[in-house]
A = this chain, B = another copy of it.
Amino acid sequence: MDREGHLIERVRRRFPTAGDGLTIGMGDDAAVLHSSPGTEWVITTDAFLENVHFLRKIHPPKAVGYKALARAASDIAAMGARPRFFFLTVGIPEALAGAWVDGFLDGMARAARRFGLILAGGDTTKYPEVVASLTIVGEIDRGKAVLRSGAKPGDLLCVSGRLGEAELGLRLSQRKIHPRKRPVRLAKKHFYPEPRLALGAWIADHKYATSMIDTSDGLSTDLGHVCKASGTGAIVWAAKIPTVKIPPRLLRQVDVDPLNLALNGGDDYELLFTVPKKFSSRLPGRIDGVRLTVIGEITRAKKVLLLRADGKTVPLPSRGWDPFRKSG
């Protein structure tokens, strides 16, 4: 067997590679898929690159493999779809082809099991740095996908979970406040994010939301995307945002503002969605164990604003993650 063949075998062993809807899986030039009647496919692709999306010094290989798949799965959650199949293209340095790749694949396999994903194909090659791209195929009942573009003035702005946790986790890790091999609860969301798949599917099934996005780039940036797509503005109520609680012990070590983390920190992969006011009384406090919070309102004026705790209203510019913005 050629050496690429060996690596492909190691990949294949770790993942489910057959299932309903997959006529032809790995091992041919392409995969063949058929959909169930009355459904549509939801497809997303996402790059995961060393020194951009992760640092080998900080992120253990299991977290890299897990997170690469989780990030892409979050886009499927944000449409309200069920994840079905995925494809992995990956370039790997020869020096990492042993234990590092095993950890990477183990972490990705754990994510695939959690999210119900079948590996349908991929492409492996040698490269000086770890460069991965994930394609995920999800399924949804026809017409039920929730888009970014449906928000209407007067809709309430809702968010799942807590915002800023992943950014805090990153900062703690960068300052080595936690041993890198055992990220504690506070850092866990940065290393092993949890795409809100059950929540997204629930929202789509109930035709509950007028728009939805995942908070991958940070609230200020992702809300900007929703407003732009919907042709609206929004006002966010600072006092209502579920921010991180930082223990005083840690607050002395890291100089961070929980509100700033919540507004501009990326990588949380919570769902941000809009709900007509008439539905608001039906909004459960939790779905599938995940807390839901109303944090603002969609407005006709095309501005994104923040109502601060001191009662002043200020502009809320997009200050989340942008891979082409110069840092510093």
A: which residues have CB within 8 A of B? 2-4, 6-7, 23-24, 27-35, 40-47, 49, 51-53, 75-76, 78-79, 81, 87-91, 94, 97, 120-128, 131, 133, 135-138, 140, 142, 145, 147-149, 212-214, 221, 229, 318, 322-325
Complex CA distance for A31 and B136, rounded to whole angstroms: 11
Asked whether B322 lies within 8 Å of A28 as measured between CB atoms, the reply is no
Known: A7-B324, A41-B35, A89-B45. A28 touches B229 (CB 8 A): yes
How far, in whole Å, are A148 and B52 apart by their CA atoms in the complex? 37
Copies assembled: 2
Chain B residues with Cβ below 8 Å from A212 are: 29
A110 nearest CB across to chain B (Å): 22
Chain B residues within 8 Å of A123, by CB: 45-47, 133
CB distance from A62 to the nearest CB of B (A): 22
Inter-chain CA distance A240–B307, complex, in Å, is: 78
A-B contact pairs, 22 of them (CB 8 A): A2-B325, A3-B322, A4-B323, A23-B145, A27-B148, A28-B148, A29-B148, A29-B214, A30-B78, A30-B138, A31-B44, A32-B140, A33-B41, A33-B43, A34-B41, A43-B87, A44-B87, A45-B87, A45-B123, A45-B133, A126-B323, A133-B133
CB-CB under 8 A from A149, the residues of chain B are 27-28
**A31, A78, A87, A213, most chain B CB atoms within 10 A:** A31
Shortest beta-carbon distance from A224 to chain B in Å: 8
- A47 nearest in chain B by CB position: B89
Please measure, in the bound complex, the distance between the C-alpha atom of A123 and the C-alpha atom of B145, giving whole angstroms. Answer: 20
CA of A37 to CA of B29 in the docked complex: distance in angstroms? 24
